Amino acid sequence: MKILVIGGGGREHALVWKISQSPLAEKVFCAPGNPGTAQLAENIAIGVDELDKLLAFARENSVDLTVVGPEQPLSLGIVDLFEQHGLKVFGPDRGAALIEGSKAFSKDLMQKYDIPTAAYGVFTDLAAAEEFITRTGAPIVVKADGLAAGKGVIIAQTCQEAIAAVRDMLSGNAFGSAGSRVVIEEFLTGEEASFLVITDGKNIIPLASAQDHKAIFDGDTGPNTGGMGAYSPAPVVTAEVHDLAMQQVLRRAVDGMAAEGRPYRGVLYAGLMVKDGEVRTLEFNARFGDPECQPLLMRMKSDIVPVLLAVANGDLSGLTLEWHDQAAVCVVMAAEGYPGEYRKGDRIEGLEEAAGLEDVFVFHAGTSSKNCICVTNGGRVLGVTALGSTVQKAIEKAYRGVARITWPGVQYRKDIGNKAIGRI
């Protein structure tokens, strides 16, 4: 089969890495890809939002299966477009991708189908929002309704801060049209987990548990990012928590989407808050998490291609996924300044030394190749990922890889995975 992966980040490097190991994959393309995917696939210089060009490429090259990594092309309707032209594609269509594309839609779905989540309100009017904030009290959470690359969520410590955030969003200054509607919700405490499943709209296959590290600095401090590291399995997801999440969150979401006339096919990612054995839903994403995808795919024993193809064909029945017992940890190495304005174009040293380490794989994200030299070209630059017999061992190996790599201004968290150790 010829398989096209859409995207150019660490998640897509991991997808290309896993897909290219399948005996079913004769040829893998990645659009636009990065220097990491170029080592395993043919990179195609088409952007993730250039749907017509992607379609033309897939048709001209007889692509048998397209796998969509990021949310933007899903929300733009790439799946609808490819399916209209008879092409097989893995991911939710535009109507179903709204579960991530609109936080108001997603919260209303949770409320309607009794999926546990924080109390909330949806507002387009500042006065009504102010009234809700004053009545609820701080801390309180303000979210831009639309896509904001994981940055549209403000945890406000005071009512004034929350009102200022709402004013910024509604005026269009903060997130453009994504902020013209806001969700304001109760602040939840507990420990977060990323719970991902693959579904055809009826059958659900859970992936292994994972935990992300959203804040930029150690100890979960500083502003939120797309994710500074992840590990799997996540001990906070006990067998009981797993069953609860499947019954109360994922099953209800998949059935709810079908009942809404938006059958969901693809990866459905629930961001969960776990406290005292109870589970509440923070958000849904319509795709693999980045960086969760990197450790998850390193732990996946089964061939992923039959599962992706079965979802594209609309029937997952009879399929399962097997996992390696080992733990996996991914440490993201980021550019100076990220998640704000960041440096670019710095030469990355030590990639080969890190790649030579046993059980370590360096996934590229924001890199580019200049005269055959790898340089930084994004906020999150690399995801150094390692397998180990325990989370502790995987952490040690991942940081051994990190220690080999450097560039001016490199930053990374030193505490990825520590919460898991605290629990074992």
Taking the least distance from each CB to ligand AMP, the nearer of 11 and 397 is 11
Q: Is 141 in the site for ligand AMP (CB under 6 A)?
A: yes
Q: Is 292 in the site for ligand GLY (CB under 6 A)?
A: yes
CB of 281 to ligand AMP, least distance (A): 9
Q: Which of 21, 61, 203, 224 binds ligand AMP (CB under 6 A)?
A: 224
How far are the Cα atoms of 30, 230, 285 from residue 68, in angstroms, in the given order?
Answer: 10, 21, 13
Taking the least distance from each CB to ligand GLY, the nearer of 93 and 292 is 292
| 8 Å CB contact between 195 and 116 | no
Q: Is 385 in the site for ligand GLY (CB under 6 A)?
A: no
Q: What is the DSSP letter of 314?
A: T
Residues in the chain: 424
Q: Which stretch binds ligand GLY (CB under 6 A): 47-55, 72-80, 285-293, 379-387?
A: 285-293
* Contacts of 77-84 spanning 24+ positions with Cβ under 8 A: 77/51, 78/6, 78/51, 78/54, 79/266, 81/51, 81/55, 82/55, 82/58
Partner whose footprint covers residue 292, from ligand GLY, ligand AMP, none (CB < 5 to 8 Å by kind): ligand GLY
From the list 256, 119, 246, the residue with the least C-alpha distance to 195 is: 246
Q: Which of 150, 379, 388, 417 binds ligand GLY (CB under 6 A)?
A: 150
Closest residue to ligand AMP, Cβ-based? 283
Q: Which of 35, 70, 227, 378 binds ligand GLY (CB under 6 A)?
A: 227
Window 356-375: contact mask with ligand AMP (x via CB under 6 A)? --------------------
For residues 115 and 190, give the distance between their C-alpha atoms in angstroms, rounded to a whole number.
17
Q: Is 283 in the site for ligand AMP (CB under 6 A)?
A: yes
User: What's the farthest any 2 CA atoms get from each other in the chain?
Assistant: 60
- Residue pointed to by tokens 């007889």: 62
Alpha helices in 61-125 (DSSP H): 71-76, 78-84, 94-101, 103-112
Q: Is 298 in the site for ligand AMP (CB under 6 A)?
A: no
In one-letter notation, the amino acid at residue 95 is G
CB of 306 to ligand GLY, least distance (A): 24
Q: Is 106 in the site for ligand GLY (CB under 6 A)?
A: no
Q: Is 118 in the site for ligand AMP (CB under 6 A)?
A: yes
From the list 167, 186, 190, 170, the residue with the least C-alpha distance to 178 is: 170
Q: Number of residues in contact with ligand AMP, rule: CB under 6 A?
A: 16
Cis peptide before 23 (omega within 30 of 0): no
Binding site for ligand AMP (CB under 6 A): 118, 141, 143, 150, 153, 155, 185-188, 192, 214, 224, 271, 282-283
> Residues in the site for ligand GLY, rule: CB under 6 A?
150, 212, 226-227, 285, 289-290, 292
